[in-house]
Amino acid sequence: GNSVTQMEGPVTLSEEAFLTINCTYTATGYPSLFWYVQYPGEGLQLLLKATKADDKGSNKGFEATYRKETTSFHLEKGSVQVSDSAVYFCALKSGGSYIPTFGRGTSLIVHP
């Protein structure tokens, strides 16, 4: 079956630090990959996505590259801000199913 594994949190960084949140997956077929962000007390919203191998998704300074050879979709940002503090979820859709598989989420805390 499909699964998504994210690094355990919380990840604590100082403002302007470099961010990496690791995400690896197992899936049938060729999945589409997503990163969602959840700010405190809110629902999830799509941050970025990639639908085929070697695609790079990007938004708001965040990037992730679909690496089929390593089955990974790591989230990166060159310089985080306090406003980036949130929970980040990696997810996939695969195998003809419209039901996504989510990782457990990684909490990011950015200090001034």
Partner 1 sequence: DGGITQSPKYLFRKEGQNVTLSCEQNLNHDAMYWYRQDPGQGLRLIYYSQIVNDFQKGDIAEGYSVSREKKESFPLTVTSAQKNPTAFYLCASSPLDSEGGELFFGEGSRLTVL
Chain contacts with partner 1 (rule: CB under 8 A)? 31-32, 34, 36, 41-46, 49, 51, 89, 93-94, 96-100, 102-105
Residue at 50: amino acid letter: A
CB 16 → partner 1: shortest distance, Å?
28
Q: Name the residue nearer to partner 1 (CB basis): 59 or 79.
A: 59
Q: Residue 61 forms beta bridges with which residues?
A: none
Nearest approach in angstroms of CB 44 to partner 1 is 5
Tally the C-alpha atoms within 13 A of residue 60's C-alpha that lie toward its C-beta. Answer: 13
* Closer CB to partner 1, 84 or 94, in the complex: 94
At 53, list the tokens.
């191998």
Report whether 63 contacts 77 (CB < 8 A).
yes
What's the min distance (Å) between Cβ of 82 and partner 1? 22
Residue 6 vs 84, nearer CB to partner 1: 6
Backbone angles phi, psi at 83, to 5 degrees: -70, -10
Residue 42: is it exposed, middle or buried by C-beta count within 10 angstroms (0-12/13-18/19+)?
A: exposed
Residue nearer to partner 1 on the CB measure, 52 or 111: 52
